[in-house]
Amino acid sequence: MSAIDRPAIAEGLSESRKGVAFCIMAHLVWGVMAFYFKLIGDVSPIEIAVHRGVWSIFVGGAIIWYLGQFEAVCRAIVTPRIFLALLFTGLLTLSGWSFYIWAIQTGRTLDASLGFFVNPLMNVAAGALFLGERFTRVQLFAFALAAVAVLIQTVATGTVPWIGLALSTSFCVYGLVRKTTPVGATEGFFVEVLVIFLPSLAIATWLVNTGEARFLTTPFYTLMLMGCGVFTAAALIFFAAAIKRIRYSTAGLLQYISPSIVFLTAVFIFGEPMNMWRWLAFGLLWVALAVYSYSALEQIRGPTAA
């Protein structure tokens, strides 16, 4: 291998590791947000969702200002393909927020967790169908284990988990569109929250005027609703930065982190019912993750040894 090739490979590996780190941070934030939303369980899902949109723009704007990316934001807005893609993902994000919060507040956190377990499988299929990604036999075995685990969870619930399936589908489409849209992580996120800012502000104002809002009623509710924007901005920026640096299928398998946190929160903190079949499914999912992670690590080590 030439001396010119080695720095390029090292740089590629460095970017890949950064992507994995960003993805893990995003899912840690998403995982703990289930508990955060439960703390304000008497606030309507709509109010929480719109405040996520309202306050995220200030966090995103501050980051854009610090990084000096206002020109990049303007280019994204005036480029029809990019702007329409981000308009779509922004609206998709707002609807997904509402579904997820509603599931947590109505005691269906396990349904949401199941949906996020399904999502990585959808990402694997999307990566193969639309991005030309290929997998080893070991990785395919991991996907099969995960599929069996999801099937067990579905059978154990006795009903079709439509909330979870809606969440997993929307997040899969979001990630695929963002990966194929030529825009950076932070400026893309800022345009997303920019397009939903006015609708979110209008709904939040209407809730206050009609007396349906908890915002401004107590310091607790006010600060908690503002904090939704901080957590939301951090998680989405981390994820958008990750998806640009790693394979879409790798991002899919790492997405087991947040539903695992949500799953454990639902069982041990929220006290939602569990049984042997659900525990079996959960164990299989972790085995699948371990198998895939081992295979991915071997792939990363391969070029270094060359």
- pLDDT value of position 204: 92
7 within a domain of the structure (yes/no):
no
179 within a domain of the structure (yes/no):
yes
14 within a domain of the structure (yes/no):
no
Task: List, for the chain, all residue ranges whose pLDDT scores fall below the cut of 50.
Answer: 1-4, 6, 8-10, 304-306
4 within a domain of the structure (yes/no):
no
- pLDDT value of position 76: 93
1 within a domain of the structure (yes/no):
no
- pLDDT value of position 10: 45
End-to-end CA distance of the chain: 7
What Rg do the C-alpha atoms of the chain give, in angstroms? 20
- pLDDT value of position 252: 62
DSSP summary character for residue 158: S
- pLDDT value of position 253: 66
12 within a domain of the structure (yes/no):
no
Q: To 10 degrees, what angle do helices 276-305 and 137-157 make? A: 160
Within the chain, how many helices (H) and strands (E) appear?
A: 12, 0
Domains in the chain, number: 1
Q: Is the whole-model pTM more than 0.85?
A: no
- pLDDT value of position 128: 75
* CB-CB neighbours of 5 under 10 Å: 11
Query: What is the extent of the structural domain holding 78?
Result: 19-305
